[in-house]
Amino acid sequence: MGKPTGFMEYQRELPSKREPLERIQDWLEFELPFPDESLRTQGARCMDCGIPFCHTGTLISGMASGCPINNLIPEWNDLVYRGLWQQALERLLKTNNFPEFTGRVCPAPCEGSCTLGLNDPPVTIKNIEHAIIDRGFEQGWVTPHPPARRTGKKVAVIGSGPAGLACADQLNHAGHSVTVFERADRIGGLLIYGIPNMKLDKTVVQRRVDLMAAEGVQFVTNTEVGRDFPAERLLAEFDATVLCGGATRPRDFPIEGRELKGIHFAMEFLTANTKAVLNGAPPQDFISARDLDVIVIGGGDTGTDCVGTSLRHGCRNLVQFEILPEPPEMRQADNPWPEWPKVLRTDYGLQEAIALYNHDPRHYEILTKRFVGDENGRVKELHTVQVEWVTDGNGKRPYPKEIPGTEKVWPAQLVLLAMGFLGPEKTVLEPLGVVQDERSNVKAAEGKYMTSVLGVFAAGDMRRGQSLVVWAINEGRGAARECDRYLMGETHLP
């Protein structure tokens, strides 16, 4: 690398963020620009390790280790250190269709497996990636490049999330005529309606969609295949179809009182909010947290997004429940490098809640037993109990056991369920006769992506289950490669 001793000379540094109490007053992105000199210094920390794990993209203990799209991280770190930004962008775009998305919302498994992370804080890979692509757009280096020729083949891509967009982008560059169907009113899938604006500004998504449209990709919105567009027409009108509809069935919580008003799935809340931000006015199904006691059930990224959104609404109070134990501050012996570090993280929404309320809103090892409503059928409180995780000694996984005497009543007029997703909806799957696996995901072999129906492929969360944006891009690229092979007999797609 350009600075062989950089990892010994420089400390890890992250970009500054707008102050929490300031940023909860708007919907703007909260991360501030990183000075060039700081970026070059951080690039210099990449340590020229003999076997870099940051771009391996493997699963260890069921978790991502390294970059699933195999970004050439040491190469563009070195180029940034040398000030060769355009060459760094060329390396970055070889593997990643949308670094402006992953550079903002990816949890960075690459940093979790950084070799420097064995002994010191890892290289700030995600922020360098973010800076490279943003500079590329600012300098006019990212421009439309339509394919030089068309193959005459037509492909339908169902769903415009990261898997669908990556698949469409690759197939279009291979020369096929690609039509992307999206049931929502805007292109982007979860990038638009699943991730709040302060985390991923929607002008960033639209900029990429406009670029793809200029390169020849056709986008069709407000069209749900299986309802507005008969699924059978896909087989008649297109040479191949790729299903990228996501895992959109939310995990429910069917306990006593679930039918009460004021209990919503997280995506209902987040989608309506983003529509309000983009349209400048709340939609008919808008869910407001203003002046309410809010409880978020679920401790993942979606739960954090619900926290940040509720604070911006002006909620009266907020708590977040997680049934699992609180993670440790540091890696434990059973979670060695290069596994994804299962440690306590305090993301943006939680930082904001702490700044506003002077305490962490998270409560661990807590189980909601029932929802209780008022005389108008609206939720007014939750009844909970603390649990401990135990094993019965027969080798089975630990399970939560209630602790007597720990019952508690919590006031709540808005409850947001952020407990993950169970799999894809069947609107397009049943008419096509696509076989699903035991987890209800579309059955398609790893690396092949072909479903039980000839010429119909599947990728992203619809095939692998709920996962990361970067895995969705990996899947979209892989499905495009196999779809191209199916159409042409061979493929040159990476």
CA-to-CA separations, 280 to 272, 274, 287, in angstroms, rounded: 12, 10, 15
Per the prediction, the chain carries an average pLDDT of: 96
Lowest mean pLDDT among 1-10, 67-76, 175-184, 264-273: 1-10
For residues 29 and 34, what is the distance between their CA atoms, to the nearest angstrom? Answer: 14
Q: pLDDT grade, residue 396 (50/70/90)?
A: confident
What does pTM read for this prediction? 0.96
With a pLDDT cut of 90, the percent of the chain lying above it is 94
Mean pLDDT of 174-181: 98
Q: How far apart are CA 423 and CA 426, in angstroms?
A: 9
- Give the model's confidence band at 1: pLDDT under 50 very low, under 70 low, under 90 confident, else very high: low
Amino acid at 6: G
pLDDT for res 397: 87
Question: Quick one: 452 exposed, middle or buried, by C-beta within 10 A (0-12, 13-18, 19+)?
Answer: middle
Burial class (CB in 10 A: 0-12, 13-18, 19+), 17: middle
- pLDDT (tens digit per residue) in 443-491: 999 999 999 999 999 999 999 999 999 999 999 999 999 999 999 999 9
Q: What's the sign of the alpha-carbon dihedral 475, 74, 201, 145?
A: negative
**Residue 207 confidence (pLDDT):** 98
**Hey, which residues does 155 pair with through a beta bridge?**
178, 240
- Highest average pLDDT, of 53-57, 290-294, 396-400, comes from 290-294
Say if CB 57 and CB 100 are below 8 A apart. Answer: no
User: pLDDT tens across 98-130, in order?
Assistant: 999 999 999 999 999 999 999 999 999 999 999
Q: Is the pLDDT of residue 333 over 80?
A: yes
* Per-residue confidence (pLDDT) for residue 296, from 0 to 100: 98
Cα 251 from Cα 254, distance rounded (Å): 10
Domains of the chain (ranges; CATH) run 6-138 (1.10.1060.10), 154-249+422-488 (3.50.50.60), 252-419 (3.50.50.60)
Q: Is the dihedral of CA 288, 291, 296, 300 positive or negative?
A: positive
pLDDT at site 3: 87
Query: What pLDDT is attached to residue 12?
Result: 97
Residue written as token pair 């890892």: 122
Tell me the CA distances in angstroms from 425 to 269, 285, 352, 441, one per residue in order.
19, 21, 34, 9
Note if the bond before 411 is cis, omega within 30 degrees. Answer: no
What average pLDDT does this structure show over 143-159? 98
pLDDT higher than 70, residue 434? yes
DSSP-derived secondary structure for 162-189? HHHHHHHHHHHHTT-EEEEE-SSSSTTT
Short-list 471, 469, 281, 297, CA closest to 370: 297
pLDDT on residue 313? 98
How does residue 167 score in pLDDT terms, banded at 50, 70 and 90? very high
Q: Give one DSSP letter per residue of 430-491, joined into a string.
A: HHHT--B-TTSSB---TTT-B-SSTTEEE-THHHH-S--HHHHHHHHHHHHHHHHHHHHSS-
| Encoded tokens for 234 | 């896909």
State the pLDDT confidence band at 48, using cuts at 50, 70 and 90: confident
